[in-house]
Structure 1
């Protein structure tokens, strides 16, 4: 079974399972407790005892001259994006997989683009569920262009980046961003929480999750127009809001020059001022 289909099945099982819990809510009360939402990602965060298997330890270094785009795709495992004082990009793919079915790791430079992939789609389900893999991407601090990352099952962590655009997707996993400066930030997950903590808002921000919480922290002097919505859950904001009801919040903070759009189908939204 291909990885995309597997992840969709897993997500479907999760949503169906928690749908039973949702039915027990009062039909006139669409609020969810934090504990209910946090349990959606139990399979992501739980400590597992992984079976012993082949060790994955692959590393590649690529020169960054003339690079405008970095594209990352990993079927399974966590993604860490780290900014360093360096002139090249270092990719380290490591961990363990069960049985003898090794993932296919590739990292190549093509024109002005670096393409990184870790493919486990040919592995069977038992191999997937007993895997523990991590993809670490070390990029130069002076890289200011575009980055895109897609993880089918795993968490994404990125910090201390200054880019033109950052686009991160995890079909089943959490996304955590800290101190990111970019003209456009886009994050999306089908089943997982999104946490974004910015020291400065200098562009548009989009965050979407089908099942999970979104927590956003911004400086108190930020300028943005807010469009936040939940289908089942709560919205809390430290910033003054013009138009607000239980499930939709819109407003202009400061001069409103940056757009912030947050959406969750089943989860809580929190917008903190710091």
Structure 2
């Protein structure tokens, strides 16, 4: 039995040594590049990335170009109207003490691309920023799916924003959306300077959203976890709150206020926009 274990360890050690020191993708950094031209027919750019630090950079160009530094390979493929950026990692990643490299991926995209984008993050980190608040990256649809890891989004203007977090931490700043939906089953999502219609469903974890302006209806649902909604003092809304368990609170003075164990409702300002809040467990705080 000991001989079998020794043979297994020798084979494993030899494989790791080859993979990390001989094939050029281990501690000695390798570099991989790939690119595909964006045309008028390109409808969607998708990212399937894990275990790397990724920067998505809009700039003046006509292609999607990916540069990977570190361990693994990157491929930019065209499938019909879609362009897909995918990273593959090699080696035994459960030997974390061998992971002395910091693999990074930089993806350059056309700054005037205005159609659809999907980012699927299994782990690792993604940073995606438009140039500035006054010059945001514009998209028809942005869909985010995070299994774990972290993400930073900034200076975006999208017609439809779709967000799903099953874990991880997300920081969003300066995003304008025609409509936005957040589904948080775990982890933390912090949103600053949001505007647009909002639908939020939290089954666990935490969602914090701050709005400089209230410009559309808001629907909040918590079955566990926590939602904090930070509104401007002059927001005009009608609150319709239902409580099965947990807590719903509002720091705003409300006209025609109705409050009991199962309901909180009332109007602030002109009452122009609807805020529908449903708490079956957990907490919703409006302030």
For the criterion TM > 0.5, the same-fold answer is: yes
Residue pair 2:247, 2:284 contacting (<8 A) in 1 also: no
- For 1:271 and 1:58, the matched residues in 2 are separated by 48
Answer 1 or 2: which has greater helix percent: 1
The yes-or-no answer on 1:64 pairing with 2:38 is yes
Query: TM-score, with normalisation over the residues of structure 2?
Result: 0.60
Contact 2:128 2:153 (8 Å CA) reproduced: yes
CA separation in 1, counterparts of 2:58 and 2:49? 19
Identify unmatched segments of 5+ residues in structure 2.
1-25, 131-136, 189-205, 250-263
Correspondence for 1:243 among 233, 240, 244: 240
Question: Structure 1 residues 188 and 135, CA, compared in 2 at 3 Å: closer, same or farther?
Answer: farther
Tell me which of the two structures has the higher relative contact order, counting C-alpha pairs closer than 8 angstroms and 6 or more residues apart: 1
Which deviates more from structure 2 when the two are superposed, residues 103-112 or residues 204-213?
204-213
Structure-2 residue corresponding to 1:159: 129
Q: Using the alignment, how far apart are the partners of 2:54 and 2:115 within structure 1?
A: 19
**Secondary structure, in 3 states, of the residue corresponding to 2:95?**
helix
Q: Note the alpha carbon deviations across 1:96-119, whole angstroms, 9 max, x for none.
A: 3xxxxx423211122211111111
**Residue of structure 2 in register with 1:110 after alignment:** 79
**Deviation beyond 3 Å, 4+ runs, structure 1:** 121-124, 243-256, 268-272
- C-alpha spacing 1:189/1:132, structure 2 compared with 1 (3 Å): farther
Aligned counterparts, 1:6-155, within 5 A: 53-65=27-39, 66-94=41-69, 96=70, 102-120=71-89, 123-126=92-95, 130=99, 131-155=101-125
Q: Deviations over 1:40-77 (max 9, x none)?
A: xxxxxxxxxxxx80313222232101211112112311
Gap regions ≥5 residues in structure 1: 1-51, 97-101
C-alpha separation between the residues in 1 aligned to 2:177 and 2:49? 29
Distance 1:260 1:157 in 2: 32
1:225-259 superposed Cα distances (whole Å, 9 cap, x missing partner): 23142623463432656134655689998546xx9
**Which of the two has higher C-alpha Rg?**
2
In the alignment of these two chains, the number of paired residues is 211
